[in-house]
Amino acid sequence: MFNHFLPNEHVEDVFEINPVDLKNKGVKGVITDLDNTLVAWDVKDATAEIQEWFKKMNDHGIQVTIASNNKEARVKLFSEPLDASFIYSARKPLSKAFKKARKQMGLNKDEVVVIGDQLLTDVLGGNLAGFHTILVVPIVETDGFFTRINRRVERRIFNWMRKRGKITWERRND
């Protein structure tokens, strides 16, 4: 059961995920979380670096869809200036939003990766839906109320996986 929480890859931030490497692996689409994955959860607009990351993905023909459990106003305000597709109130880890994003992109499962900062929503949901998952370190160490609860559970899962040799990397605050 705990294997569903195990990401395929772990990186420090989205900037380590580059479009050339993705294309070389046959990836044509990205489903990414928003809060604490692309920007801090309390930052409303994309930073210049995130704008550049989206541009690089687009320039290399990689589609990006933002899938967030947040409300429409938050996700729309962030996504529209980037000309990015988005799904709000995604109810991750349920697989419906992941499948919807893949279908909207017109891609097969093996052509899409899921990027996010949470095991309990992004990684679990992406794995259950059959996608390659990439876990990023949360941008900031503060979170909204429900995410703080998730982080406590995540620490226990990380410790369990670490003790069994399933992960070798460390995360901040582990």
State the pLDDT confidence band at 81, using cuts at 50, 70 and 90. very high
Adjacent-strand bridge partners of 65: 31, 85
Q: Give percent above pLDDT 70 in the chain.
A: 86
Span 4-32, pLDDT tens digits: 888 999 999 999 999 999 999 999 999 99
Using DSSP's 3-state secondary structure scheme, residue 6 falls into coil
Give the chain's count of helices (H) and strands (E). Answer: 6, 6
Segment 45-64, tens digit of pLDDT: 999 999 999 999 999 999 99
Q: Compute the distance between CA of residue 62 and CA of residue 108 in angstroms, rounded to an integer.
A: 13
Domain ranges of the chain: 2-163
- Per-residue model confidence as pLDDT tens digits over 94-152: 999 999 999 999 999 999 999 999 888 999 999 999 999 999 988 876 555 666 677 67
Q: Please state, in angstroms and rounded to a whole number, the distance separating the CA atoms of residues 105 and 98.
A: 11
Residue 82 φ/ψ region, left for φ over 0, alpha for ψ in the -120 to 50 degree band, beta for the rest: alpha
What one-letter code names the amino acid at 87?
I
* Class of domain 2-163 as given by CATH: alpha beta
Q: What is the pLDDT of residue 46?
A: 94
What is the model's pLDDT at position 173? Answer: 45
